[in-house]
């Protein structure tokens, strides 16, 4: 049976705006995330998508509302942004190993695990490369590996492929699906691309033009194993 990972109730976020007004970036959002589901958010610019992710990542406080975790204790989370935010003075492998080292795992073990991730993302040979020498796609692979090495219960992706060209985007989406099928962590991903959402998501949440509200929620039902090679035959229903 499906299990809730978290439940968001009545979540609102206001920002101070010009001339003393307030801007309602999120307006009473209710949302449940199932354990292990892949949910995508689409919606216009400025509709509050990033605000929701930043609140879930604990980098922003909501103005009101609650987030309840099913196990009644905080869960582990990692977030990836459009810009990979790699540390420029760390190599590829050092960037991936960093979260483990911050957790206190000895360097040699952290590097060992990071090496396994380097292979999973197909960057063998680039271990000791500096971030500025990577293509945009490679840098995002490193950012995703650096998030996943932490084995987060919730992976938050904020337009992770937004800065990449169409071909690289598609390739990265298929790779992400392959990785997710191995680890089955819960993912909440913001994307501008409807085709990306349909390829990846179990459920697509649509934010509306009026900022801060989910206007639609589409369940995508797959009548087949989620094999990326068969994606062209994907059927989905509302």
* Residues of the shown chain interacting with ligand ADP in the complex, contacts defined by CB under 6 A: 15, 23, 25, 43, 45-51, 211
Question: Which residues 23-62 are close enough to bind Mg ion by CB under 5 A?
Answer: 50
| Nearer Cβ to ligand ADP (51/185) | 51
Question: Which residues 206-235 are close enough to bind Mg ion by CB under 5 A?
Answer: none
User: In the complex, what is the shortest distance from the CB of residue 23 to ligand ADP, in angstroms, rounded to a whole number?
Assistant: 6
Partner in contact with 185, chosen from ligand ADP, Mg ion, none, beta carbon below 5 to 8 Å by kind: none
User: In the complex, what is the shortest distance from the CB of residue 49 to Mg ion, in angstroms, rounded to a whole number?
Assistant: 5
User: In the complex, what is the shortest distance from the CB of residue 22 to Mg ion, in angstroms, rounded to a whole number?
Assistant: 19
User: In the complex, what is the shortest distance from the CB of residue 158 to Mg ion, in angstroms, rounded to a whole number?
Assistant: 6
Query: Which residue in 32, 34, 25 sits closest to 64, CA to CA?
Result: 25
Question: Which residues 85-144 are close enough to bind Mg ion by CB under 5 A?
Answer: none
Q: How many residues touch Mg ion (CB under 5 A)? A: 1
User: In the complex, what is the shortest distance from the CB of residue 185 to Mg ion, in angstroms, rounded to a whole number?
Assistant: 21
| Nearer Cβ to ligand ADP (50/179) | 50
| Nearer Cβ to ligand ADP (77/120) | 77
DSSP the chain: ---EEEEEEEEEEEEE-GGG-EEEEEEEEEEEEETT-EEEEE--TTSSHHHHHHHHTTSS--SEEEEEETTSS---EEEE-SS----TTS-HHHHHHHHHHHTT--HHHHHHHHHHHHHHTT-TT-TT--GGGS-HHHHHHHHHHHHHTT--SEEEEESTTTTS-HHHHHHHHHHHHHHHHHH--EEEEE-S-HHHHHHH-SEEEEE-SSTT-EEEEEE---SS---GGGGGG-----
| Nearer Cβ to ligand ADP (67/70) | 67
| Nearer Cβ to ligand ADP (63/101) | 63
């Amino acid at each position: 049976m499906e299990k809730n990972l978290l439940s968001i109730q009545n979540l609102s976020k206001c920002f101070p705006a010009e001339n003393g007004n307030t801007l309602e970036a999120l307006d009473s959002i209710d949302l449940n995330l199932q354990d292990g589901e892949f949910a995508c958010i689409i919606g216009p610019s400025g509709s509050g998508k990033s605000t929701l992710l930043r609140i879930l990542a604990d980098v922003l406080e909501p103005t009101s509302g609650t987030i309840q975790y099913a196990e009644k204790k905080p869960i582990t989370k990692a977030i990836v942004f459009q810009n990979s935010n790699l540390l420029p003075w760390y190599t590829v492998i050092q960037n991936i190993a960093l979260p483990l080292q911050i957790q206190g795992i000895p360097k040699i073990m952290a590097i060992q695990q990071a090496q396994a991730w380097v292979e999973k993302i197909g960057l063998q040979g680039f271990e000791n490369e500096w971030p500025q020498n990577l293509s945009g796609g490679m840098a995002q692979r490193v950012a995703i590996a650096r998030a996943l090495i932490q084995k987060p219960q919730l992976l938050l992706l904020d337009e992770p492929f937004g800065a990449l060209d169409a071909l690289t985007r598609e390739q990265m989406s298929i790779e992400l699906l392959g990785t997710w099928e191995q680890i089955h962590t819960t993912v909440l991903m913001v994307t501008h691309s409807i085709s990306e959402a349909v390829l990846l998501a179990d459920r697509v949440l649509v934010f509306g033009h009026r900022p801060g509200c989910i206007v639609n929620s589409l369940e995508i039902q797959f009548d087949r194993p989620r094999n990326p090679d068969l994606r062209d035959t994907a059927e989905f229903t509302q």
